[in-house]
């Protein structure tokens, strides 16, 4: 058997970019390039849909989406999940009861260890459900831009599932705080993350109380979530915001704290979110140059208003969006227009994206943006199998682990890097080639379900299809076309195509 190889130099050459598309997406190759950027990866069914209704009409549907209807086979997998069938408070209660039971149990050490393992395994199972649901939506949701933006904001407002019980909380965080607001007003999104127990626990604000200040969350809100590290705030602003945030916490139980009588009307409980007046610093604060009168949770809303409408936030968010969608070093003129639109629209995310998508800078960047591991894996499966629903996301999750970008796996609050330098090492390219071989040869295990009675629906990829000959072929460099012409089997052709420099970019 001949060993399948692809010149590493050719793979690495892809880091420098492919052909530039400067015209509007009217011809097939330009249209394919635009779809490859706005979606999780172009495929035949999406391409045909856009051809039918027109790119502008399709883009408007992406910016202002209707509720997504997934293929029945994908929706059935999501419907069967515990995270779908049970609301978060119920899941939390069940797991917390289980944890308390083994903590209190007067049993031998072996039994206690077994109970602890069962608790950890259930947390792992729920986290895997969340990751599986996310991948299924990335692959099959008609609202592709909403799903891309959900990943973007999950990365921007990053939480790590390894801390406390975040493996249990992360599915609700993505589903209830992030996805519904991914294309809405930034102020609403910022507030939703602040009020979610996943964020509160991850950045330790449940430990933040009057006379016992914890600055972690206050610092990251300004440095990473809004103003940016060069946004003009001071260490004193961090301290003042931390004081404003005192009392914002989590209540996983059924009991309400004994709030002192004169502050009982200030107590707030919404799901697992809790504002406890007993823990709040009611003194006035001086935040970003203006006084915030001490009055409880309303202080938090005032601070979020200032942060979300600050010019530095408009610049910081616009730059990060442009890095994600346009270039590692976006043109300043584009950033200025996006920031101006952010401010004039009061932080309307879809409006800022429309400004970017309609720009010449965006059109000229198509085909040059290097894919991080999630984009590479999802786009390869979308292109290879189109709307044929996979039965098992396990291989995809394993590939992301191998390439150091597992979903919800970034330990630090800065999120995964969005630039090429974070992902274009020779080791990454070698792994991508191995993934391309697994997908291209039809032996990836995507269509074999897990469990005691696994189902298998063999599906051989047909990448040399109408989409390839109509549009994708035109974007390939001569060296790539020559390598494909030398393939000795469909499997080898598929592998070389999926591992080509052009498929490393969007």
Per-residue model confidence as pLDDT tens digits over 450-459: 877 788 887 8
Residue 401 domain-assigned (yes or no): yes
Residue 108 domain-assigned (yes or no): yes
| pLDDT score at 19 | 37
Rounded to whole angstroms, how far apart are CA atoms 214 and 233?
18
Q: By mean pLDDT, which of 50-59, 79-88, 107-116 is the weakest? A: 107-116
Mean residue pLDDT of the chain comes to: 94
| pLDDT score at 16 | 44
> Which of 365, 380, 405 is the last residue in one of the domains?
365
**218 and 288 in contact (C-beta within 8 Å)?**
no
Rg (CA), the chain: 24
Residue 111: pLDDT band by 50, 70, 90 thresholds?
confident
Rounded to whole angstroms, how far apart are CA atoms 277 and 342?
34
| pLDDT score at 25 | 65
Residue 370 CB coordination number (10 Å): 23
Q: Is the pLDDT of residue 10 over 70?
A: no
Residues 465 and 498 in one domain: yes
Residues 377 and 494 in one domain: yes
Domain span at 325: 311-365
Residues 280 and 195 in one domain: yes
Q: Which residue would you say has higher pLDDT here, 344 or 14?
A: 344
**Per-position b or e across 324-363, b if 16+ CB within 10 A of its CB:** bbbbeebbeebbebbbbbbbebebbbbbbbbbbbebebbb
| pLDDT score at 468 | 97
> Which of 365, 382, 402 is the last residue in one of the domains?
365
Residues 28 and 97 in one domain: no
Rounded to whole angstroms, how far apart are CA atoms 119 and 129?
16
Residues 375 and 430 in one domain: yes
| pLDDT score at 108 | 74
Q: Is the dihedral of CA 248, 252, 258, 263 positive or negative?
A: positive
Span 413-441, pLDDT tens digits: 999 999 999 999 999 999 999 999 999 99
Mean pLDDT of 291-314: 98
User: Residue 415's closest CA among 146, 151, 147?
Assistant: 151
| pLDDT score at 99 | 82
The total number of structural domains in the chain stands at: 3
Considering all CA atoms of the chain, what is the largest pairwise distance in Å, rounded to the nearest integer? 81
Residues 206 and 297 in one domain: yes
Percent of the chain with pLDDT over 70: 94
Residue 2 domain-assigned (yes or no): no
Residues 242 and 258 in one domain: yes
Q: Is the pLDDT of residue 404 over 70?
A: yes
Residues 203 and 137 in one domain: yes
| Tokens representing residue 123 in the block | 């947390």
Residue 88 domain-assigned (yes or no): yes
The DSSP bridge pattern shows strands 290-292 and 285-287 to be antiparallel
> Which of 365, 392, 411 is the last residue in one of the domains?
365
Residues 257 and 272 in one domain: yes
Rounded to whole angstroms, how far apart are CA atoms 325 and 356?
9
Residues 83 and 47 in one domain: no
Mean pLDDT of 389-417: 98
According to DSSP, residue 249 is labeled: E
> Mapping DSSP to helix (H, G, I), strand (E, B) and coil, where does residue 338 land?
helix
Residue 211 domain-assigned (yes or no): yes
Span 472-496, pLDDT tens digits: 999 999 999 999 999 999 999 999 9
> Mapping DSSP to helix (H, G, I), strand (E, B) and coil, where does residue 380 land?
helix
Percent of the chain with pLDDT over 90: 87
Rounded to whole angstroms, how far apart are CA atoms 94 and 105?
16
Residues 146 and 274 in one domain: yes
Residue 1 domain-assigned (yes or no): no
Alpha helices in 14-142 (DSSP H): 28-38, 44-53, 55-63, 72-79, 82-85, 88-104, 109-140
Rounded to whole angstroms, how far apart are CA atoms 415 and 156?
6
| Tokens representing residue 438 in the block | 């697994």
> Mapping DSSP to helix (H, G, I), strand (E, B) and coil, where does residue 418 land?
coil
Residues 155 and 300 in one domain: yes
3-state DSSP of 272-329: CEEECHHHCCCCCEEECCEEECCCCHHHHHHHHHHHHCCHHHHHHHHHHHHHHHCCCC
| pLDDT score at 459 | 83
**378 and 127 in contact (C-beta within 8 Å)?**
no
| pLDDT score at 4 | 57
Residue 187 domain-assigned (yes or no): yes
């Amino acid at each position: 058997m001949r060993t399948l190889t692809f010149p590493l130099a050719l793979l690495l050459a892809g880091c420098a970019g492919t052909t530039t598309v400067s015209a509007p997406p009217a011809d097939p190759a330009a249209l394919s390039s635009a779809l490859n950027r706005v979606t999780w990866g172009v495929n035949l069914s999406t391409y045909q849909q856009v051809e039918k209704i027109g790119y502008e009409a399709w883009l408007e549907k992406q910016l202002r989406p209707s509720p997504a209807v997934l293929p029945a086979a994908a929706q059935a997998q999501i419907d069967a999940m515990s995270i779908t069938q049970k609301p978060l408070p119920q899941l939390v209660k069940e797991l917390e009861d289980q944890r308390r039971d083994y903590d209190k149990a007067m049993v031998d050490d072996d039994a206690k260890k077994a109970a602890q393992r069962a608790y950890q395994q259930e947390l792992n199972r729920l986290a895997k459900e969340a990751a599986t649901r996310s991948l299924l939506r990335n692959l099959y949701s008609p609202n592709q831009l909403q799903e891309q933006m959900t990943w973007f904001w999950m990365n921007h407002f990053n939480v790590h599932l390894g801390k406390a019980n975040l493996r249990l909380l992360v599915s609700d965080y993505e589903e209830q705080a992030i996805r519904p607001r991914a294309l809405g007003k930034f102020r609403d999104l910022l507030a939703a993350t602040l009020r979610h127990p996943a964020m509160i626990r991850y950045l330790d604000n449940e430990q933040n109380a009057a006379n016992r200040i914890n600055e972690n969350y206050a610092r990251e809100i300004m440095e990473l979530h809004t103003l940016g590290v060069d946004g003009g705030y001071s260490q004193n602003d961090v301290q003042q915001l931390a004081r404003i945030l005192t009392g914002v916490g989590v209540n996983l139980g059924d009991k309400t704290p004994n709030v002192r009588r004169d502050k009982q009307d200030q107590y707030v409980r919404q799901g697992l979110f809790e504002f406890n007046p007993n823990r709040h610093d009611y003194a006035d604060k001086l935040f970003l140059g203006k006084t915030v009168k001490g009055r409880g949770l309303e202080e938090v809303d005032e601070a979020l208003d200032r942060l979300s409408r600050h010019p530095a936030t408009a610049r910081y968010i616009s730059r990060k969006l442009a890095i994600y969608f346009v270039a590692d070093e976006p043109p300043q003129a584009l950033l200025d227009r996006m920031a101006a639109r952010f401010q004039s629209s009061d932080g309307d995310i879809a409006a800022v994206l429309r400004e970017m998508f309609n720009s010449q800078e965006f059109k000229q960047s198509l085909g040059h943006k290097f894919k991080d591991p999630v984009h590479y894996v999802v786009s390869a499966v979308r292109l290879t199998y189109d709307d044929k629903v996979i039965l098992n996301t396990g291989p995809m999750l394993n590939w992301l682990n191998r390439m150091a970008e597992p979903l919800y796996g970034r330990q630090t609050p800065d999120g995964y890097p969005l630039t090429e330098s974070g992902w274009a090492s020779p080791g990454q390219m070698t792994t991508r080639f191995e993934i391309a071989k697994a997908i291209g040869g039809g032996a990836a295990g995507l269509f074999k379900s897990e469990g005691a009675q696994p189902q298998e629906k063999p599906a051989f990829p047909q990448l040399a299809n109408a989409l390839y000959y109509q549009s994708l072929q035109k974007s390939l460099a001569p060296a790539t076309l020559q390598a494909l012409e030398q393939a000795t089997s469909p499997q080898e052709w598929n592998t070389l195509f999926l591992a080509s420099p052009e498929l490393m970019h969007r």
